[in-house]
Amino acid sequence: MRKVKNKKVLVAISLKQSFQNATGQAGSWRKKKKVMVAMSGGVDSSVAAALLKKAGFDVVGVFMKCWTEDLEKRCRNLTDDEYTARRVAVKLGIPFYKFDFTREYKKKVIDYFVKEYAKGKTPNPDVMCNKEIKFGLFYDKAISLGFDFVATGHYTQVRKGRFGINLFCGKDPTKDQSYFLYRVASERFKKVIFPVGKYYKTKVRKIAKALDLPNAARKDSQGICFVGKVKLDDFLKNYIQEKPGKIVTKDGEIIGEHQGVYFYTIGQRKGIRLPGGPFYVLDKNVKENLLIVTRNEKDLYKKELLAENINWLSAREPKLPLRIKAQIRYRQKAMPATIEPFSHKTIKIIFDNFQRAISPGQSAVFYRGKKLLGGGIIKN
């Protein structure tokens, strides 16, 4: 009687086949490929490294230090993350290193984040972190050191198409992270592997448990990219001073006082601290230091927005107008819309249905089905 392969072997075979289908490199397995894996200490990147080793890659794990020492103790102890990542590397029997990107992260991510908030906008640091750090500095360093690929624990899928590499949503819709990747140069995905993108998170947990990884039951990290779970107000107050001003209705009636318009987000209800509510943040006038609120939640709904800093993942920009589905914040469903030209560097997005709390500074990301087309920064 033929012996049935165990689950661990089947996982390795499945990943190997997926890699071949995505890159068209079926013959590349004759030569062992080198892959550098960004290991955060979380279960996703740990399973990514484990699967790649099982699939026959020469795997090296790297922990990226991207936060400064003076705020680590107040915000999050990253030593725990690094320690956990090292334990996983020892368990897997792979080399492990640390890259210090604190200076670059401060300049390219934190400074951008704070600058945009100071303008009254609501930027997404994870989008910039992926572009500048994970698939910027980390990617460049790995390739310059002679690695064939880089890998992360993103829930996203790379597939080879007729005209090049395409990016698709992760299989698990509750964990999909394609939204954060639209600003990465598309040619870079030719040398990127997302091993967990074809799995549900529950399956990733089961794989971690089956492989006896030390962080199999570790909770998911939350909060600002690389910084962790810290209140946004507390974080911003380290960089932006409080500036008291008036809270007004859309008709200009003064009804209260705020400590700084920067600390509020369009659509926010909690934290306004006004009697007779609920009130919702409708707009922010940074120039006059006014926080504009409304009692009527319907005021938050709009059908149109303008977007700038557009990045298309295809080799050629599509012709407009274009029917797509657009997602205006992470974990929000992409909704049917039409993209129309507006100016040389700006496009207009017209939704079929009203959208709540469209926020300048956030990203509007475009899809066709599960395929990521590109995106831009919401202007108004």
- CATH code, domain with 141: 3.40.50.620
Domain of 356? 301-378
In a domain, 65, yes or no: yes
Q: Name the residue type at position 365.
A: V
Within-domain flag for 10: no
- Is residue 129 part of the annotated active site? The answer reads yes
Contact by Cβ (8 Å): 84, 51: no
314 and 326 in contact (C-beta within 8 Å)? no
For residues 79 and 190, membership in a common domain is answered with yes
Number of other residues whose CB lies within 10 A of the CB of residue 329: 19
Please give the chain's pLDDT, 380 residues, in tens: 444 455 554 555 455 554 444 443 433 444 689 999 999 999 999 999 999 999 999 999 999 998 764 544 444 444 789 999 999 999 999 999 999 999 999 999 999 999 999 999 999 999 999 999 999 999 999 999 999 999 999 999 999 887 788 999 999 999 999 999 999 999 999 999 999 999 999 999 999 999 999 999 898 876 666 566 667 778 888 899 999 999 999 999 999 999 999 999 999 999 999 999 899 999 999 999 999 999 999 999 999 999 999 999 987 889 999 999 999 999 899 999 999 999 989 999 999 999 999 999 999 999 999 999 999 999 98
Q: Are residues 63 and 176 in the same domain?
A: yes
Q: Does a structural domain hold residue 231? A: no
Tally the C-alpha atoms within 13 A of residue 201's C-alpha that lie toward its C-beta: 14
Distance of CA 133 to the CA centre of its chain: 12
Contact 151, 48 (CB under 8 A): yes
375 vs 121: CA distance, rounded Å: 17
Residue from 66, 75, 129, 169 carrying the catalytic annotation: 129
Same domain, 306 and 334: yes
Sheet with 290-294, side-by-side order of all strands: 254-258, 245-249, 290-294, 280-285
153 and 253 share one domain: no
Q: Look at the pTM and tell me if it is higher than 0.85.
A: yes
Q: Is 225 tagged catalytic?
A: yes
Whether residues 171 and 260 fall in one domain: no
d(CA 310, CA 332): 20
| Whether residues 33 and 106 fall in one domain | yes
- Is residue 167 situated within a structural domain? yes
Which tokens in the block code for residue 100?
A: 């210090």
Alpha-carbon distances of 294 from 20, 144, 252, 327, 378, rounded to whole Å:
54, 53, 11, 25, 22
Number of domains in the chain: 3
Do 279 and 327 lie in one domain? The reply is: no
Tally the C-alpha atoms within 13 A of residue 135's C-alpha that lie toward its C-beta.
Answer: 24
Verify that 33 and 176 share a domain, yes or no.
yes
111, 128: one domain: yes
Asked if residue 142 and residue 113 are part of one domain, the reply reads yes
- Catalytic hit among 66, 75, 169, 225: 225
Give the C-alpha distances (Å, rounded to integers) separating 131 from 30, 108, 124, 139: 32, 10, 12, 10
**Position 367, amino acid:** Y
Are 153 and 32 within one domain?
yes
At 325, which CATH number? 2.40.30.10
